[in-house]
């Protein structure tokens, strides 16, 4: 009976979500009702223990700090300065504006790890100037959506910080494992936008006017904008990969670093700080409530015997090893249409990890491949969350049709990255093995 109760939790959860209830409260409600039927009043104490687990998880303390980094970079105008510095060098390159957007997405993702903030900032900076230079609307849409999605696979990523404790995998190892696939994907995006602009110049016209800057001025602009930001990225990501700091410690240093940068650029004000803190508190509350709901949901599912039922079902269907992993990836891809990335992680990873590890699949490799699959669903129509972000900031001339058509080539490039990770697992596993040292 308990196994069937565990299975019933998933359709019940989807009913709540499709009815319009917030995801976090949907997971908590389903867990509470199912737990009451299974364990009676004792479920209250079990769910309170999950609340204590989330509240005392030191790794999750990095979440508000990374969100604050992204908010400060956005509100203080540092991202705008970065875009101008990158654009100085890409101005004469075919598809230079699109290339600048991808480069900025890579840099911003490496600095903050917040997907929505990355896409919003890039879109607000790049869309108006790309429209001014008569770029194809589909290319604009695809570039902005793809650049923003890099926040999932370029470390440090908020999604990874959530996934690590849930999967019982070192966050530092996940960051290291993501580094090469993330950079490969960003590189493929850049090659594509330059290549398509070379072969079809009409969709990405070159900028006729010169910047009017000498080489010395270009170098000065680049130095002033990029060097401090690279130092910030090293403070956050480099210290984690080198084993110098935990993710929480590195994020705290990065948060202080963004304040120092805004002061150095004379863009700091109490209003900007207050707005950034408000945004941080709002997003953090939402994320951690979802984390709590996911922990409660997974706890009741496991205690109800749901895992045994899933393993029996996979065996009945003849899915083992690669077949079971593929089935999980397909399920994650479909779930990514309906739920935000963190919710998918919290619902599926507790279910998936015991299965894949029982088949001898490396948990770091699986986690990285899982994130790439999630990022692909994040970009895939018709329910692509990235498209909804773009719709909020795009002018009315850019329609849904442009957006759907524009993301398709980038989805193909994401699938190529996934294929490379599947065929060459060392792309994921080599750097964590070389790091050694302490794990967090």
The residue behind tokens 């104490």 is 45
User: Highest-confidence range of 105-114, 173-182, 258-267, 278-287, by mean pLDDT?
Assistant: 173-182
**Residue 439 confidence (pLDDT) above 50:** no
List, as one string, the DSSP characters of 9-65. Answer: HHHHHHHHHHTT--HHHHHHHHHHHHHHHHHTTHHHHHHHHHHHHHHT-TGGGHHHH
Top pLDDT among 228 and 428 is at 428
Which residue has better confidence, 72 or 121? 72
Helix segments in 40-136, DSSP class H: 42-55, 62-75, 78-90, 96-112, 115-132
In tens, the pLDDT along 67-98 reads 888 788 777 777 778 877 887 888 788 888 89
pTM metric for this prediction? 0.79
User: Mean pLDDT over residues 382-387, rounded?
Assistant: 72
pLDDT digits (tens, 9 = 90+) for 99-113: 988 988 888 888 766
Which whole number is the average pLDDT over 57-68? 80
Q: Is the confidence at residue 248, as pLDDT, over 60?
A: yes
Q: What is the mean pLDDT of residues 167-180?
A: 89
Q: How confident is the model at residue 415 (pLDDT cuts 50, 70, 90)?
A: very high
Label residue 5 by pLDDT band (50, 70, 90): low
What DSSP line would sit under 369-413, residue for residue? HHHHHHHHHHH-SSS-HHHHHHHHHS-TTS-HHHHHHHHHHHHHH
Given a cut of 60, whether residue 344 has pLDDT beyond it is: yes
Over residues 419-432, the pLDDT tens digits come to 999 999 999 999 99
Q: Is residue 438 pLDDT above 50, yes or no?
A: no
More confident residue, 418 or 237: 418
Across the chain, mean pLDDT equals 82
Of 45-54, 108-117, 189-198, least confident by mean pLDDT is 108-117
Across 105-143, b (16+ Cβ under 10 Å) vs e yields bbbbbbbbbbbbbbbbbbbbbbbeebbeeebbbbbbbbb
Instruction: Provide the pLDDT for residue 440.
Output: 46
């Amino acid at each position: 009976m308990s196994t069937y109760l565990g299975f019933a939790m998933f359709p019940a959860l989807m009913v709540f979500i499709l009815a319009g209830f917030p995801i976090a409260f949907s997971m908590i409600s389903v867990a509470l009702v199912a737990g009451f039927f299974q364990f009676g009043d004792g479920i209250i104490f079990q769910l309170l223990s999950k609340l204590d687990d989330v509240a005392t998880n030191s790794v999750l303390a990095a979440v508000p700090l990374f969100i604050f980094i992204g908010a400060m970079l956005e509100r203080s105008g540092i991202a705008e300065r970065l875009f101008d510095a990158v654009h100085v060098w890409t101005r004469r390159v075919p598809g230079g504006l699109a290339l600048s957007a991808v480069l900025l997405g890579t840099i911003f993702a490496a600095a903050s790890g917040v997907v929505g903030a990355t896409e919003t900032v890039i879109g607000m900076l790049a869309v108006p100037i790309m429209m001014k230079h008569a770029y194809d609307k589909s290319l604009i849409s695809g570039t902005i959506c793809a650049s923003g999605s890099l926040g999932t696979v370029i470390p440090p990523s908020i999604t990874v910080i959530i996934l690590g404790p849930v999967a019982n995998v070192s966050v530092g190892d996940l960051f290291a494992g993501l580094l090469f696939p993330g950079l490969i994907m960003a590189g493929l995006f850049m090659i594509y936008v330059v290549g398509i602009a070379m072969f079809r110049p009409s969709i990405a016209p070159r900028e006729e006017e010169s910047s009017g800057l000498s080489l010395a001025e270009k170098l000065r602009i680049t130095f002033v904008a990029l060097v401090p930001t690279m130092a910030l990225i090293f403070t956050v990501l480099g210290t984690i990969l080198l084993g110098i700091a935990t993710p929480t410690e590195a994020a705290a240093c990065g948060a202080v670093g963004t304040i120092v940068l805004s002061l150095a650029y004379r863009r700091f004000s109490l209003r900007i700080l207050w707005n950034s803190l408000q945004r941080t508190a709002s997003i953090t509350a939402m994320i951690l409530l979802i984390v709590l709901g996911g922990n409660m949901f997974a706890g009741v599912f496991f205690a109800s015997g749901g895992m045994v039922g899933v393993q029996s079902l996979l065996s009945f269907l003849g899915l083992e090893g690669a077949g079971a992993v593929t089935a999980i990836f397909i399920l994650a891809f479909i779930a990514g249409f309906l739920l935000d990335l963190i919710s998918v992680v919290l619902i599926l990873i507790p279910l998936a990890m015991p299965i894949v590890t029982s088949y001898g699949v490396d948990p770091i490799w699986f986690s990285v491949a899982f994130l790439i699959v999630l990022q692909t669903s994040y970009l895939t129509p018709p329910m692509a969350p990235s498209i909804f972000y773009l719709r909020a900031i795009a002018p009315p001339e850019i329609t849904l049709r442009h957006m759907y058509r524009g993301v398709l080539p980038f989805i193909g490039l994401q699938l190529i990255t996934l294929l490379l990770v599947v065929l060459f697992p060392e792309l994921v596993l080599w750097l964590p093995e070389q790091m050694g040292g302490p794990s967090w």
